[in-house]
Amino acid sequence: MNRYDNRRAIVTGAGSGIGQATALRLLDEGAHVVGVDVSQAGLDDTCEKATAHGDRLSVQVVDVADEASVVDGVAQAVAALGGLDVLVNAAGILRSGHSHDVSLDAFERVIRVNLTGTFLMIRESVPALLAGSAPAVVNFSSTSASFAHPYMAAYAASKGGIQSMTHTLAAEYAKQGIRFTAVQPGSISSGMTAGVGESKQSMGPGLPEDADMSLFMKLGPALQQGFAGPEAVASVVAMLASEDGAFITGTEVRIDGGTHF
């Protein structure tokens, strides 16, 4: 029996990278999934890759940074699924630059998509999760939340906020049966790290041209295999939201190949 037989899940950022890999992994394990993303093209790509499970996948264009879009999108997703058991908040953006050059608009955009977007998805999903079966939420923090990644102050702040919020929500809803966990990906190859993929709301410009690369000398995986693919994170997300993770809540799991010992 698959771990996700008869389980109903919403996955954000499902149009590329780790979000897409997670949606496909849950489908492989029997879940009914609504994949949401800001990019229709990304969602179309996910549908093409999920042809074997197309009867259990539906997709919606949702901008997690827009409250009205989230309210409408979650309501439609829950209706399509007939309820909700799992929420995976993988959508996010990365902006890099010298902090003294970053505009307020750019800083607030990262916070709006990553942190506020995660909050909005949770707020709108909790009522359905409370009525679900063994409900679980998996949020996306980052190794940037705990370790210095230069030129990424807004991103680090947003991911640190997600991590703290995950702990708070886990305590708040523990007696009501909802588990909240987070993953901390690092050294993962994805559309975000490559600077491509509109489904991650687009990474935007990469590091500054004059970036001091010596600051990144310690940020490589210790394992000989080098950077891992998004499937490495998707497998952990699938565990955390399943019955195998039933005794795990209010914590985060770092997935970085030993980049940060």
Domain that holds residue 113: 8-255
In-domain check, residue 2: no
Q: What mean pLDDT is reported for the chain?
A: 91
Instruction: Give the per-residue pLDDT at 151.
Output: 94
Q: Has residue 174 got a pLDDT over 80?
A: yes
Q: Has residue 213 got a pLDDT over 80?
A: no
Render 38-102 in DSSP notation, one character per residue. Answer: S-HHHHHHHHHHTGGGGGGEEEEE--TT-HHHHHHHHHHHHHHHTS-SEEEE-------S-GGG-
In-domain check, residue 222: yes
Q: pLDDT tens digits, residue range 118-167?
A: 999 999 999 999 999 999 999 999 999 999 889 999 999 999 999 999 99
Q: Has residue 6 got a pLDDT over 90?
A: yes
What percentage of the chain carries pLDDT values higher than 90? 80
Phi/psi at 109 (5° precision): -65, -45
Phi/psi at 124 (5° precision): -75, -20
Catalytic-role residue among 4, 151, 155, 173? 155
Pick from 41-50, 139-148, 208-217, 218-227: least confident: 218-227
CA dihedral 58, 63, 69, 70 (to 10 degrees): 70
In-domain check, residue 217: yes
In-domain check, residue 261: no
Q: Has residue 90 got a pLDDT over 80?
A: yes
In-domain check, residue 3: no
In-domain check, residue 67: yes
CATH of the domain at 64: 3.40.50.720
In-domain check, residue 25: yes
Query: 0.75 cut: is pTM over it?
Result: yes
Using pLDDT thresholds of 50, 70 and 90, give the confidence band for residue 30. very high
In-domain check, residue 108: yes
Q: Is 151 a catalytic residue?
A: no
Q: Has residue 217 got a pLDDT over 90?
A: no
Q: Provide the domain count of the chain.
A: 1
